[in-house]
Amino acid sequence: MKFQDYQYQRINIEDMGMQIAQLTTLLNDATSYQEFLQAFKEAEKLLSHASTMENLSYIRHSINTKDEFYDKENDFWDEHEPFLQKFLVSVVKAVLDSPYKEELKKDVPETFFLIGENALRSFDESIMEDLQEENRLTSEYDKLIASAQIEFDGKTCTLASLMAYFENPKEEVRRAAFGAYWGYLEEQEAQLDHIYDQLVKLRDKIAKKLGFDNFVELGYIRMDRFGYHQEEVATYRRQILNDAVPVANKLYEAQRVRLGLDKMLAHNNDYVFNTGNPTPKHDKDTMVGIAKEMYHEMSAETGEFIDFMIERELLDLEAKPGKMAGGYCTYISNYQSPFIFSNFNGTSGDVDVLTHEAGHAFQVYCSRWIKPENCIFPSSDGAEIHSMGMEFFAWPWMERFFGEDVDKYYYYHLASTIKFLPYGALVDHYQHEVYNHPEMSIAQRKDTWRRLEKQYLPHKNYEEVPFLEKGTWWFRQLHIFNYPFYYIDYTLAQVVALQFWRRLQEGDEKAFEDYHAICKIGGSKIFTDIVKAANLKSPFEEGCLVDVMKLADQYLENIQVK
């Protein structure tokens, strides 16, 4: 069965509510563990079906936000998704209050109970309308970004397709594309400011209704972070400032010299080589074919996985008008199917999709046996290990994608990994400032971004773009709007994935075995235990970055690129 044949039908929320109420009664009144377990399984099946319908609606809406049917369905889910939270919480409460809870721990992962406790802490019926409004505002942001129709180079570009010009060999083209991109966002400044201002105030209100001092603690609970808190993250960010920022600055200075520039203006930041950035040498279909070969050669398990994805047409890869920005991997429970969404634009990022998002998809494919469904994916800090790890395990096949540019790709990919760490920490630090000080004005938030940006990304030079100089780069970061506090996760996982890279450089034959093992673990363990199971060092350990930054710095110095 192909993705286009996956059946979508809107859930009848009232009927589902009655069914959940009946099952909750059975959970509460069970006179044996078998009765209890049967009711639990029925509730899980019902919740998974609702999740499937919501996910199918989201995927098809993100592929084409102009589709009137799925636009209406998206509005429906914005309004009714909080009811799914309500239903889940009622089931979880019955489970946690049950005398059979301890027996259930033998049949479901420990993370189910941790996630369940967080669900109880982060939901109350008093915030139902607030959650609906939060969904409406994030959809408004998505539509605003997806609706961009920018005339450039004789074409009508989306924001995603316009970004390809940031890597054009001609500086005047890069400068013009950069100006067009940020010019569009400047035109939307008032609306973007309004959306985010409303989101910050709304999230602060939700947190206070639930008994928290502000949204920060609630944000961590929503992200299902276990085993570490704000203090550990702050310490980790300081390690990035101390150990990663100097290496990143060195890379930007080498880039400036390589390009023969007096100074690195912002429109040149994405253009790394004087001879042009590495680009894939094939069209989309050929690259998918190469990915199929690669995964068959990598292991029997990855070969089986990629066949499943291609045969069921579970990849939507090309940028199109009306398509949402970005990329993601999700899971369609009823069909036990991962799904990959992206916006190919002719850059090396297209290949990264076939490794990064495929890493997510391979993990969920390996762990789809896990029940309940919310334990298949790890929390985002753990999930990103699989995606970023796969990027490095795919290195031996990169010559097939990039041909003579393969060394440039190795340099570009590793350098980008290091450059990303300070940016990821910046996004996280900014959100802590915003939600710890929700009283900040719109202008103060922008000032805060620019102040922090100068610490983490001191190379940024916006003298030609006053709009960015006042602190608006974050407008493009959908996570800040839609998924608060989902960003440091990328850096935590990147530090772990870099340890896989180091093991591969050292010829460690057990590296992929450990990687595959944590893919099968899925979300049945918390982040720190997943890292331990992979035989890697936790990012929260003092000095975790020192060795890998040193090795990466040496590796990059030894690659001959122009």
The residue type of 75 is D
Q: Which helix (H) or strand (E) holds 78?
A: helix 68-96
pLDDT of residue 151: 95
Structure token digits, residue 87? 């239903």
Structure token digits, residue 467? 């709009």
pLDDT at position 459 over 90: yes
Q: For 474, which DSSP code?
A: G
Report yes or no: 376 and 370 within 8 Å, Cβ to Cβ.
Answer: yes
Segment 480-487 shows an average pLDDT of 95
Report yes or no: 329 and 353 within 8 Å, Cβ to Cβ.
Answer: no
The CB-side HSE value for 483 (13 A sphere, CA atoms) comes to 14
Greatest alpha-carbon pair distance for the chain in Å reads 78
Task: Look up the pTM and report it.
Answer: 0.88
pLDDT of residue 136: 95
Q: Give me Rg for the CA atoms of the chain.
A: 23
pLDDT of residue 547: 85
| pLDDT grade for 542, boundaries at 50, 70 and 90 | confident
- Give per-residue pLDDT as tens, 194-207: 999 999 999 999 99
Q: Which of 148, 211, 122 is nearest to 485 (CA)?
A: 122
Starting at the earlier edge strand, list the strands of the sheet with 337-344: 315-318, 337-344, 328-332
pLDDT of residue 160: 86
- Give per-residue pLDDT as tens, 314-371: 999 998 888 988 889 999 999 999 999 999 988 888 999 999 999 999 999 999 999 9
pLDDT at position 541 over 90: no
pLDDT of residue 457: 97
pLDDT at position 274 over 90: no
- Give per-residue pLDDT as tens, 24-49: 999 999 999 999 999 999 999 999 99
| pLDDT grade for 213, boundaries at 50, 70 and 90 | very high
Segment 110-132 shows an average pLDDT of 94
Alpha-carbon distance values, 94 to 25, 27, 38, 128 (Å): 8, 6, 14, 20
- The mean pLDDT of the chain is 94
pLDDT of residue 142: 92
Q: Cα–Cα distance between 430 and 560 in angstroms, integer?
A: 37
Q: Which of 338, 331, 342, 326 is nearest to 284 (CA)?
A: 342
Helix 68-96 to helix 33-63 angle (10° resolution) is 160
Helix 13-29 to helix 68-96 angle (10° resolution) is 10
| pLDDT grade for 227, boundaries at 50, 70 and 90 | confident
Alpha-carbon distance values, 428 to 199, 452, 528 (Å): 17, 10, 19
DSSP assignments along 307-367, one per residue: HHHHHTT-EEEE--TTPPSS-EEEEEGGGTEEEEEEEE-SSTHHHHHHHHHHHHHHHHHHT
- Give per-residue pLDDT as tens, 500-515: 999 999 999 999 999 9
Q: Cα–Cα distance between 162 and 158 in angstroms, integer?
A: 6
pLDDT of residue 326: 83
- Give per-residue pLDDT as tens, 57-88: 999 999 999 999 999 999 999 999 999 999 99
